[in-house]
Amino acid sequence: MLRAIILCLILVTCSAYRLLAVFPFPGKSHMILGEGYVRLLLEANHDVTYLTPAPLKIDHPKLRQIDVSSTEKGFDFDGLFNFKKLINKEVDLSDTNHKYIVMQYVTESLLMHPNVQKLLLDTDQTFDAVIVEWMYSDLYSGFSTVFNCPFIWSSSLEPHPMILRLIDSLPNPAYFPDHTSSLEPPYTFLERVEQLWNIAKTLYNRWRLKEKEESIYENAFGPAVKKRNRVLPPYNEVKYNGSLILGNSHVSTGVAFSLPQNYKAISGYYIPKKIPQLPDKIKNIMDKAKNGVIYFSMGTMAKSKTLPEELKRNLVDMFGNLKQTVIWKFEEDLDGLPNNVHIVSWAPQQSILAHPNCVLFITHGGLLSTTEALHYGVPIIGIPVFADQFLNIKRATTKGFALEVDINYETPGNLKFAIDEILNNPKYRENIKQLSLVYHDRPVSPAAELVHWVEHVVKTKGALHLRSPALHVPFYQKLYLDLLAVILMMPLVLCKLLKYMKNKLFGVLKKKGKKTKKNQ
């Protein structure tokens, strides 16, 4: 009897939720972020269904994976993220409009993927909450409508207008830049105008995609909702119905913007408490490096092998003349490497940064890399290539723990200059140690926060108490344009009124005048 009661109590207090995590974008860093959710939610004893292009190689009784890997073929990653083409300006990845168009196309093919449709059309499937990554499209919000449960946005970027507008007012462009802008406030007059222009342009371009977006929404989710005997709610109501945004951001890497109550900054949640041991080969190299190790990685999207030959050689020569040891993550072998330069095709980045001999990180400046540099307190040299990398590096240089070098044929020389400066001037190291303290000094760990907020949303059935009233106030009301219209109309109305009264009065006088004339 007692045992039965205890068992019941345990079951009641450790209720497991059924959660769906949708991270279908086949970029490595996005998969790392998705994996973080899966790992933490499984550890918290929940049932997790993970929709991913790269199924995890783990067997867990509470994990089910939905494989959408075939969509990866639709991406021309090597064509797009190609250093040679970027340097020669053959591709322009700064065009956000293009990004929204491409991502709409990608999202459509993901949503219509047979495995996704199978999940949606299976009426036996139920979930307590859905976590969806925001990737230049609001369409994944539709999952929540099919499963009739609350949903949470996962954001891989620092807070930016196009995602915040889904849970609050559009932030003011006078001081809140979009994630593709590398301008930091305070702005000059012209910069402020430029920010306004940028956001207006983005909004206009997204408005042009609206019709197509709504038809994707209806095609992807309509049949599944109908099969569950419900009516598909309007897209506009669903996409603004997110319970939370969990952002891989933190004030230590970003700016102290005021954020809505349901934006939670949980930067670094995916970094495990215990980092994996370094492979013996790398460990040996690092242990022996008397003058410190410089770790060089341009991330996973753009492959280093697409670097022009001349640039590769000049980089190797420049590294060869340094007294530090260089570990370069590179996808191909180079011959004639100097003794102090080591090429690794795969690198456990966190474990390398955590090694006490690591003195510098040369990176493309993706948010995960900047976050990890901060986590382990290693100063950086950024060579930004696309997306938010320019902004991340700009912020890092403003905060004084980074230097920026452009990617072009002069990179090796400029890089040498930057390496000398950053290693010989102690201020970079001091700054990153200070910011690393800010980053780590939180009341609870970001991993615990992630689990807490996901559970909170389920427990409170969508955390309606955290939603901003600004969502339901139309733009013209926020700007008091209606009041402005009234004020502008006032003189006009007044004029008309005076004219009317004048005419009336004159009319009466004239009549009177005529009458008196007749009487004379």
Instruction: Give 96 or 241: the residue with its C-beta nearer to ligand NAG.
Output: 241
Instruction: Give 95 or 237: the residue with its C-beta nearer to ligand NAG.
Output: 237
Q: Per residue, what are the HEC states of 475-519?
A: HHHHCCHHHHHHHHHHHHHHHHHHHHHHHHHHHHHHHHHHHHHHH
344 strand-pairing partners? 329
- Tell which residue, 306, 361, 355, has the closest CA to residue 330: 306
353 strand-pairing partners? none
Residue nearest to ligand NAG (CB): 462
Helix or strand holding residue 214 (H, E): helix 210-227
* Intra-chain end-to-end CA distance of the chain, in Å: 119
Q: How many CB atoms lie within 10 A of CB 479?
A: 10
- List the one residue from 233, 279, 356, 413 that touches ligand NAG (CB under 6 A): 233
358 strand-pairing partners? 293
Residue type, 381: I
Piece of 235-243, 254-262, 290-298, 390-398 that binds ligand NAG (CB under 6 A): 235-243
**Tokens describing residue 3:** 């045992």
User: Residue 60 Cβ, how far from ligand NAG at the closest point, in Å?
Assistant: 27
Question: Residue for token digits 């209720």?
Answer: 15
Instruction: Give 127 or 376: the residue with its C-beta nearer to ligand NAG.
Output: 127
Phi first, then psi: what are they for 413, rounded to 5°? -65, -45
Instruction: Give 237 or 406: the residue with its C-beta nearer to ligand NAG.
Output: 237
b/e 229-243 (16+ beta carbons within 10 angstroms → b): eeebeebeebbbbbb
Our finding on whether 236 is near ligand NAG (CB under 6 A) is: no
Do β-strands 293-297 and 244-247 pair in parallel, antiparallel, or remain unpaired? unpaired
User: Residue 238 Cβ, how far from ligand NAG at the closest point, in Å?
Assistant: 5
Count of residues in contact with ligand NAG, rule CB under 6 A: 8
In the shown chain, the binding pattern of residues 123 to 162 toward ligand NAG, with x for contact by CB under 6 A and - for none, equals: ----------------------x----x------------
Instruction: Give 35 or 128: the residue with its C-beta nearer to ligand NAG.
Output: 128
Q: How far apart are CA 156 and CA 134, in angstroms?
A: 8
User: Residue 461 Cβ, how far from ligand NAG at the closest point, in Å?
Assistant: 6
In the shown chain, the binding pattern of residues 36 to 75 toward ligand NAG, with x for contact by CB under 6 A and - for none, equals: ----------------------------------------
Phi first, then psi: what are they for 442, rounded to 5°? -125, 155
Residues 417-476 that bind ligand NAG (CB under 6 A): 461-462
Instruction: Give 244 or 407: the residue with its C-beta nearer to ligand NAG.
Output: 244
Instruction: Give 36 or 150: the residue with its C-beta nearer to ligand NAG.
Output: 150
Piece of 169-177, 233-241, 267-275, 365-373 that binds ligand NAG (CB under 6 A): 233-241
- Tell which residue, 296, 425, 291, 427, has the closest CA to residue 352: 296
Piece of 111-119, 188-196, 232-240, 339-347 that binds ligand NAG (CB under 6 A): 232-240
Q: How far is CA 506 from CA 107, 496, 517, in A?
A: 71, 15, 16
SS3 393: helix
Instruction: Give 86 or 244: the residue with its C-beta nearer to ligand NAG.
Output: 244
Residues 237-266 that bind ligand NAG (CB under 6 A): 237-238, 241
Piece of 27-35, 236-244, 304-312, 418-426 that binds ligand NAG (CB under 6 A): 236-244
Q: How many CB atoms lie within 10 A of CB 202?
A: 18
Residues 186-225 that bind ligand NAG (CB under 6 A): none
Instruction: Give 408 or 460: the residue with its C-beta nearer to ligand NAG.
Output: 460
* Contacting positions for ligand NAG (CB under 6 A): 145, 150, 233, 237-238, 241, 461-462
